[in-house]
Amino acid sequence: MEIYGSVGPNSGNYTIQSDGGESVTFNGTKSVLTPQTLLYQDNSLAPGTHEVKISNSSPGQTLNIDFAVIYGPPSA
């Protein structure tokens, strides 16, 4: 699974929690606005249902999600 969004001068910290595990904090602050940037990647997910929570943890800053890529088992 991959989550893409914008980073830039108006972006701040955000947290991601996968399947009820520990939250991990990332910093989206960059000097130039760059959309469609990889914000999070997890290649360890087994087939099945999963829950991912994304939170903006910087009041007054933005968190923009562009899209997610979900990988499944190969087609037969």
pLDDT in tens, 40-69: 999 888 888 899 999 999 999 999 999 999
Q: Do the Cβ atoms of 68 and 4 come closer than 8 Å? A: yes
Its pTM stands at 0.88
What residue type is assigned to position 24 of the chain? Answer: V
Cα separation of 63 and 61, whole Å?
7
Q: Do the Cβ atoms of 70 and 1 come closer than 8 Å? A: yes
The answer on pLDDT for 72 being more than 90 is no
